[in-house]
Structure 1
Amino acid sequence: MARAPLPIGTWGRIHTRVEKTDEKGRPTSHRAQAKYRDHDGKTRPVSAFGKTKTAAETNLLKKLKDRARASQAGELTAMHRIRQAIEIWEEKFAELVAGGQRSPSSLDTYRRSIRNHVLPALGEVRIGEATTPRIDSVISEIKKRAGAPTARTSRSIISGVMGLAVRYGAITVNPVREVDRIEHDTKKLPRALTAEEVQLLRKHLRTDERAVRADLPDLVTFMLGTGVRIGEALAVLWSQADLDTGKVKITHTVVRITGEGLLRKTTKSRAGQRELGLPDWTLAILRARFAAGARLDEPIFADTLGGFRDPSHVRRSLREALAPVGSTARRDLGLSLRAARRESAMTRKDVAQALDWPLTKIELIETGRTKVDRELATTLLRAYNIRDDEAATLLAQVDQAAAPAPSDTLAWITSHAFRKTTATVLDNDGQTARQIADHLGQARVSMTQDTYLDRKSPNPSATQALQRAFEDPDLP
């Protein structure tokens, strides 16, 4: 009976022999050799050398593993580790990015999730061992530690990797298909600024030194007048704005890519390429900026050197400008709670595990980006084993940080709220969802309706329509 061939990408028994000797007949070089079955199905001898038998065998094993890794692009098996499949999947996604079919920011997000969550949990698991229960358990743990959005991103990555494994013949069914849906808290309803809030906001930004230094008043006005994303607003060049006709072309967005810095790239979909008209109050601001001195090849909202601004930095400046007066006390409280945690020799991960909280919750508390009440603070202080006298001091800080401030009414506003406000104004004016989606640069109308339109306003025409449809004059 014929011997079964070696599986592709594997090798047989290693044989070692003396290759050279010195004058006294002592071995000085060894050759290690094994048969390796390449991706094309042919079995070839592979050799490596070393001063000792062990060194030769070690060098050969490294050579064989490198050869197997190089041939992975042709095929995966159930014995390959998921880490190896991830490398192939990531390379293919990077090719799509290079071809303009995927966004570089998406690749950046995926790489971060792979590095922080997917590889630590599944990297050394073999493809054939990646069952639905195991993957379901991993995704549940990621949700518990990092939250539902990160878990959804990780699930998408794992699904793509396992789908690739199916196409490459390593498995027959994608095990992620049957993984339980990622449930999360009810999504917040879209909220738009009222006319009064818009006036209060613009007045506040004009009188706030931090906002003026960050050039926020004009930028916010531009975003309210156009409904563009913050990255799109920062990518607009003066050459794209026609101040005579009152129109502006939106073609690019600014993103930060790890290892590459700020990048001005085309919008992620064809729907994002659009020309928008400018309201008179927005146009007046642009004309004033242009009259103060501008170059056509520079961004309208440039940094101090005339270059592009980082969207993340602008968002942070907006948060700081809109933070309530009490936010200084809130940040101080966060620093105090961080110091208490460190004195107890606990990491953020330790606290999250002990209290069964997402890791991000600890970070938000310690950076002063979320309000802390007495109940939450008491829970933390118990976990840190803080003495009663120290606890009393910290709880007094909690009360001070929770005190209301006049600008609290603006604290909820984010850069995306301007976009939702523009959409809601157009909706109230009677424009169709398709028209609003085109203005916002969105391909899917359902996204516009579900995420961007504030639906709190009553609809009297609905009452009138129902009355006309079902009114029966013969009934009392």
Structure 2
Amino acid sequence: MAGRPPLRIGQHGKITRTDLGSGVWLARCRFRDRDGVTRIVERRTPTGSTDKYGDKAEAALVAALDGRRPPTADVSASTLVVDLMKDHVARLREAGELSPVSIDVYERAVLVARPRMAGLKVSDLDPALLHDLLAGIRQAHGDRERAVRAVLNAVLTRAVMAKAIDTNPMRELGRTRRKSEGPKGAPALDPTEVLRAYKRVRTSAYCRRADLRDPVLTLIGTGVRRSEVLGMRWSDIDLDHATANISGRVVRIKGDGLVWLPATKSGAPGRTVPLPAFVVAALRARRTSRISDTWVFPSTSGGLRDPDNFNKQWRRARGLFDLDQVTSHSWRKTLATVIDDAGLSARIGADQLGHARPSMTQDVYWKRGSVHTEVAAAIDKIVR
């Protein structure tokens, strides 16, 4: 004979009422708690009440059961995916755990996805449909597809936890990117190309007029990020000891414009990097004619310099120099190559470039935050 079917989590069995006399009743039932254990739960008529049929005892029991159930899910199979995505970004912003720049990236991802998913419900999504949607976004918007993937994965995981769907179709979809035939992004330069670029930047009339010479020389000599170079303050520079404290960066945030964030891209509070002799010489000369007491590389008005405008000016310059493929990020890859070719360790490279970690082992057991003058010497050797 088949046994009694098990209760679902948060479900109760039949409620029984027992008259205890004098207007007091006992209501009880079986209830399966969140730990999976089925228990007997009971409540009596509240003190001071007269309960003719036991309905007050049962009402007290039902209220107690409601308090033991998991929170009511705010996601169902009919919830619109776009609404979930917008809510996810709003939650991230409210939590304050991500940088404003990252939040803006996710907001743009929602804007990109919205026209293609306007009427889609959580239950509509399957791996095949997601594959086609993401392929279209990748073709139209390139790398923005990565942020769309991240948001979709988060909201569909939330839907699984709310039992709106059984599985996350993003997990079934997996990675569909084509393998590249070579390294992605900006190329690294060999020593001959570095020396040629260095000489052209240093002697270019356009770089001097556009105030590109000194910041580009600093990029070449340190390998720090463009936003970090433009975020350098004079208080961060120690020319006597030939070091710079990379303590913040310049970014554009929706609704706020250009702002200086007191943290590097990896989220670290800052790092100190050595300055090659050619960068020290450029900064010494610059300090005598500075137009800002705060910023090393300000805008023409003395305020924060826009990284996007800087990039446009550099694109024009590299076109003049026949360096079309050399972006501001190329100098980071170039310095990483210099560090490797000089026989320096991956930890030194991580300290110089501001990477969070080359590996877990190195993070745990190797000392961080050292100033490695060997890096400045290696790049100095090339330009000499």
**Shared fold (TM-score greater than 0.5)?**
yes
In 1, Cα distance between equivalents of 2:80 and 2:122 = 6
8 Å CA contact 1:231–1:311 kept in 2: the answer is yes
**What's the offset of the Cα at 1:213?**
2.0
In 2, Cα distance between equivalents of 1:257 and 1:103 = 10
User: CA separation of 1:278/1:208 partners in 2, compared to 1, >3 Å: closer, same or farther?
Assistant: closer
In 1, Cα distance between equivalents of 2:241 and 2:73 = 56
**What's the offset of the Cα at 1:135?**
1.5
SS at match of 2:329: helix
**What's the offset of the Cα at 1:272?**
6.5
- Residue 80 of structure 1 aligns with an amino acid whose one-letter code is T
In 1, Cα distance between equivalents of 2:200 and 2:72 = 57
SS at match of 1:415: coil
Q: 263, 266, 289: which one pairs with 1:269?
A: 266
In 2, Cα distance between equivalents of 1:271 and 1:304 = 30
Residue 121 of structure 2 is aligned to residue 126 of structure 1: yes
Q: 199, 205, 212: which one pairs with 2:201?
A: 205
8 Å CA contact 1:302–1:309 kept in 2: the answer is yes
User: CA separation of 1:108/1:73 partners in 2, compared to 1, >3 Å: closer, same or farther?
Assistant: farther
Residue 225 of structure 2 is aligned to residue 229 of structure 1: yes
Matched with 1:172 is: 166
Deviation sequence 1:243-296 (CA, Å, 0-9, x none): 222211111111112222112112232446201111121111111111224654
**What's the offset of the Cα at 1:77?**
1.2
- Residue 155 of structure 2 aligns with an amino acid whose one-letter code is V
Matched with 1:139 is: 134
SS at match of 2:245: strand
- Residue 417 of structure 1 aligns with an amino acid whose one-letter code is S
**What is the TM-score of this pair, normalised by structure 1?**
0.56
Matched with 1:75 is: 74
Matched with 2:275 is: 278
RMSD over aligned Cα, in angstroms? 2.4
**What is the TM-score of this pair, normalised by structure 2?**
0.69
Matched with 1:292 is: 289
Matched with 2:66 is: none
In 2, Cα distance between equivalents of 1:79 and 1:187 = 42
Count of residues in correspondence between the two structures: 287
In 2, Cα distance between equivalents of 1:95 and 1:80 = 22
Question: Counterparts in 2 of 1:422-441, with a 5 A limit?
Answer: 422-441=335-354
Structure with the largest fraction of helix: 1
- Residue 259 of structure 1 aligns with an amino acid whose one-letter code is G
Percent identical across equivalent pairs? 35
8 Å CA contact 2:298–2:304 kept in 1: the answer is yes
User: CA separation of 1:85/1:124 partners in 2, compared to 1, >3 Å: closer, same or farther?
Assistant: same
8 Å CA contact 1:271–1:442 kept in 2: the answer is no
**What's the offset of the Cα at 1:442?**
0.3
User: CA separation of 1:170/1:246 partners in 2, compared to 1, >3 Å: closer, same or farther?
Assistant: same
In 2, Cα distance between equivalents of 1:225 and 1:218 = 10
Matched with 1:46 is: none
In 1, Cα distance between equivalents of 2:162 and 2:329 = 41
8 Å CA contact 1:136–1:180 kept in 2: the answer is no
Structure 1, unmatched stretches of 5+, are 1-71, 325-406, 448-476
8 Å CA contact 2:292–2:302 kept in 1: the answer is no
In 2, Cα distance between equivalents of 1:73 and 1:323 = 59
- Residue 86 of structure 2 aligns with an amino acid whose one-letter code is E
- Residue 84 of structure 1 aligns with an amino acid whose one-letter code is D
- Residue 288 of structure 2 aligns with an amino acid whose one-letter code is A
In 2, Cα distance between equivalents of 1:184 and 1:260 = 37
Matched with 2:49 is: none
- Residue 422 of structure 1 aligns with an amino acid whose one-letter code is L
In 2, Cα distance between equivalents of 1:87 and 1:191 = 36
User: CA separation of 1:144/1:276 partners in 2, compared to 1, >3 Å: closer, same or farther?
Assistant: closer
**What's the offset of the Cα at 1:113?**
2.1
Structure 2, unmatched stretches of 5+, are 1-70, 361-384
In 2, Cα distance between equivalents of 1:271 and 1:429 = 26
8 Å CA contact 1:102–1:268 kept in 2: the answer is no
**What's the offset of the Cα at 1:166?**
2.4
- Residue 92 of structure 1 aligns with an amino acid whose one-letter code is R
- Residue 203 of structure 1 aligns with an amino acid whose one-letter code is K
In 2, Cα distance between equivalents of 1:306 and 1:192 = 32
8 Å CA contact 1:205–1:217 kept in 2: the answer is yes
- Residue 248 of structure 2 aligns with an amino acid whose one-letter code is H
Q: 438, 444, 461: which one pairs with 2:357?
A: 444
**What's the offset of the Cα at 1:433?**
0.9
SS at match of 1:308: coil
